[in-house]
Amino acid sequence: MTKTDTSSPEQVLPTPSHTVGPFYGYALPFRGGEEIAPLGHPDTVTVHGYVLDGAGEPLPDALVELWGPRPDGTVPQVDGSIRRDPATGGYLGRNGVEFTGWGRIQTDADGHWYARTLRPGTRGRGAPYLSVCVFARGLLVHLFTRIYLPGDEAALAADPLLTRVGERRDTLIAVEEGPAAYRFDIRLQGEGETVFLEYQ
């Protein structure tokens, strides 16, 4: 057995940091990931926006994951977001009936993303929200945030997280653009940076 001399700088080179890209774009996106709501459901809302870097430029290769409860606030306990054909292994798509509450969306060439999901219901003492996870080039660790939908100002005013972030609360509240349509841009850093959460 030979021993390697690790005291010499010529023998040991630093390992570069790993980011989540660019390889996640090959295996993680799936067709129909943005269509979370069952077809024709009356509580369907569309949420869309851009993922922007520190200079305000859109990222064409980011991934946005969303999770949300049903309109009555209960958390779905069903499988079926990524169904596969048992014979070919190919992706079958959602069944169009079950609501899993989860979706994964890849930004397009302009850094834009959208999802059709159900309006989230209240859980606990906070205002209803969608949970978000962002993957993008240059990120060593994916980022977590929330999307609150406007409408119930009393609930938003009393929400514990929105109260804690003070003036930055607007970075967590989507902008209503029309009936059941909301815009939510995710700014990774810089002016207007979205509030990100750390779970411990």
> Who's near 67: CB < 8 A, 6+ residues apart?
101, 102, 130, 131
Provide the percentage of residues in the chain whose pLDDT is more than 70.
Answer: 86
Say which amino acid occupies 198.
Answer: E
Q: Is the distance from CB of 51 to CB of 107 less than 8 angstroms?
A: yes
How far is residue 81 from each of residues 29, 52, 91, measured CA to CA in Å?
12, 27, 10
Is pLDDT above 70 for 13?
no
Question: If you average pLDDT over residues 106-115, what whole number do you get?
Answer: 96
Lowest mean pLDDT among 34-43, 87-96, 120-129, 148-157: 87-96
* 156's tokens: 């938003």
pTM: 0.84
The confidence band for 200, taking pLDDT boundaries of 50, 70 and 90, is confident
